[in-house]
Amino acid sequence: MFGIGMWEIIGIVLVLFVFMRPEDIPAAVRKLGRLYGRLTAMSGKLRMEIDQGIREAQKEDEQSSGEKEP
């Protein structure tokens, strides 16, 4: 999803540990987790809408090709 794998997430967390104060890290990780969850939910919805549009287009195609042939 989005080309972000487990190793990339681990890398981001490691960068957070290096550049952030220890007391700020839990809040930052929570924010990143929420953002990742929202992005995955949005991509899932988008994928469903695209699939639904493709199915509808295929049905219309089948119906229109069936009407042209006697």
pTM of this structure: 0.57
Q: Are 12 and 32 in contact (CB under 8 A)?
A: yes
In a domain, residue 48? The reply is yes
Q: What pLDDT score was predicted for residue 54?
A: 95
24 lies in which domain range? 6-68
Per-residue tens of pLDDT for the chain, all 70 residues? 457 788 887 887 788 778 888 888 888 889 988 988 898 899 999 999 999 999 999 998 888 877 655 5
DSSP collapsed to 3 states, 4-21: CCHHHHHHHHHHHHHHCC
Number of domains composing the chain: 1
In a domain, residue 1? The reply is no
In a domain, residue 44? The reply is yes
